[in-house]
Amino acid sequence: MNAIGLQNPGIDLFCERDIPYLKNFDTKIIVNVCGHAPEEYLAVVERLADEPIDMMEINISCPNVNAGFLAFGQDAHNVEKLTAQIKKIAKQPIIMKLTPNVTDITEIARAAEAGGADAVSLINTLTGMKIDINRKTFAVANKTGGVSGPIVKPVAVRMVYQVAQAVNIPIIGMGGISCAEDAIEFLLAGASAVSVGTANFHNPAVTLEVIDGIEAYMKKNGFENVKDMVGIVK
């Protein structure tokens, strides 16, 4: 569980320093965008529009100061509206990153699709709380924190499956992936791609291990392409 915010050097330094550095490698650059008001999202997207990046992932789990700090991603109307606004100015494909802290994840996914999203990614962290029984107070100063890691995987797989049945755009599955078997679950549930987060903290080589494991699974089960695996569990 973490409550450290979304630490970053700011858009100007990122564009001046980090993008040129990343361009030295044979990789795709996907930039995660966050904000506390629509104007902040749009300003960052506009700033990135002409940069040599491949995609943007819009983190709509951020609190919306214009809506009483309700996260953007918890209101379908706001999701569709913000997605549409971003699509008007973005020159790269847009991924909307969905929060699991909602009653119906499919409603939010459909709203992102209706707004023109090119893909969705899910799940972001679940909201949790830890009480320090010895100090008799909250374990983190923010009172609540984002729960990630293996404990959230069953929830994430379920939500990816639900969204795969509800939308026609690609899904990037994430949440608790720590080995190839975890990643394969997401693919079979309907994700077209997967993302590994928390596991990197205790195993920096985990992504390479996941890739090798998926390849081995494909050979064993007669899959010629990852696409052949996506969403086959109905």
How many Cβ atoms from other residues are within 10 Å of residue 72's Cβ? 28
Chain position carrying tokens 């100007």: 12
For residue 121, give the nearest of 28, 188, 56 by alpha carbon: 56
Strand pairing class (70-71; 63-64): antiparallel
Strand pairing class (131-132; 137-138): antiparallel
Active site residue 62: yes
Chain position carrying tokens 């209706």: 114
Q: Which two tokens stand for residue 228?
A: 């052949």
Identity (one letter) of the amino acid at 146? Answer: G
CA pair distance 25, 23, nearest whole angstrom: 5
CA pair distance 32, 22, nearest whole angstrom: 14
Of 15, 34, 62, 179, which residue is the catalytic one?
A: 62
3-state secondary structure 41-71: HHHHHHHHCCCCCCEEEEECCCEEHHHCCEE
CA pair distance 172, 187, nearest whole angstrom: 9
DSSP label at residue 2? B
Active site residues: 62
